[in-house]
Amino acid sequence: MRYFIGNWKMFGVPKSVSILNKINSYYSKDKNRNKYKVVITPPYTLIESFSNHFKNKKISIGAQNCFQKDQFSSNTAAISSYMLKSVGAKYTLVGHSDNRGEGDTDEMLKDKVRYALKNNLKVVFCIGENKTEKKNKKTLSVLKRQLTKAMEKKFKKNDIIIAYEPIWSIGTGKIPSANELKKITIHIKKVLKGIFKKNSPAVLYGGSVDGTNVEMFKEIREIDGFLIGGASKSSKKFIDIIKNYYR
């Protein structure tokens, strides 16, 4: 199974559902539709209405983050996985570099993953090195640390998706070379097989993915799909990625 996950970040108002209607109508007619899943993570404000709108449709709705506590707490502005589940979310991102950059530690992320799974959300766990770590050849060790700090063998591999997103690539138009990316994806799967008793969860790539560079990414068969930021805000750009992937 492949995944095309659109991360809207701070984008969207109720009428933006028209973008998803177009993606959904492409998806429901695509002859390749059984080979992949489409998930969109809009801002919190749209999760309930979008989840209702697409209840019996192909697209699934997820959240961009969740708080590291179960159910309810006294943390102002925090949203728990329990609350997300209650309004129809099926997935949540955890550990996006935007949130790691705002202070999410490995320990906090571990709790987010735990509570998300407890509340029956599938977790899209984001990992990735920054520019300095890449320059200092620390990429593989950074990724291993991020994975081993948060993942546990008791988790079900089908409830977890890993998104490899090099921070230097997000929103910059810069992407890793095919060789580099293949090597890194194989490394990630090796670490995951160590944790999940020989079975690796799906591993996605994210960072400046578009309808053109997906032609290069699709040659790397180890990559199980994409986490798409900028290009997911346009139905045409998002559909182009899927079209060109299966061309």
Residues contributing to the site for ligand PGA (CB under 6 A): 7, 165, 170-171, 206-209, 227-230
- CA angle, 16 as apex, 41 and 115 as ends, to 5°? 20
What letter does residue 33 receive in the DSSP assignment?
G
Query: Cα(200)–Cα(34) distance, rounded to whole angstroms?
Result: 21
Given the complex with ligand PGA, which of 160 and 170 has the nearer CB atom?
170
Q: How far is the CB of 170 from ligand PGA (least distance, A)?
A: 4
- Give Cα separations from 206 to 55, 68, 74, 114, 136 (angstroms): 26, 24, 34, 23, 21
Q: How far is the CB of 216 from ligand PGA (least distance, A)?
A: 15
Phi, psi of 187, deg, nearest 5:
-60, -45
Q: Using an 8 Å Cβ cutoff, are 116 and 66 in contact?
A: yes
Give the number of other Cβ atoms within 10 Å of residue 2's Cβ.
18
Query: Which amino acid is residue 57, in one-letter code?
Result: K
Q: How far is the CB of 70 from ligand PGA (least distance, A)?
A: 26
- Take residue 233 and report the two structure tokens written for it: 């805000």
Given the complex with ligand PGA, which of 10 and 77 has the nearer CB atom?
10
Given the complex with ligand PGA, which of 104 and 165 has the nearer CB atom?
165
Q: How far is the CB of 41 from ligand PGA (least distance, A)?
A: 9
Catalytic residue status for 129: no
Catalytic residue status for 222: no
Q: Using an 8 Å Cβ cutoff, are 80 and 115 in contact?
A: yes
Query: Which of the following is catalytic: 48, 53, 96, 102?
Result: 96
Q: How far is the CB of 209 from ligand PGA (least distance, A)?
A: 5
Cα distance from N-terminal residue to C-terminal residue, the chain: 17
Given the complex with ligand PGA, which of 128 and 201 has the nearer CB atom?
128
Given the complex with ligand PGA, which of 201 and 229 has the nearer CB atom?
229
Q: Using an 8 Å Cβ cutoff, are 119 and 82 in contact?
A: yes
Query: Which of the following is catalytic: 165, 180, 187, 222?
Result: 165
- The catalytic site residues sit at 96, 165
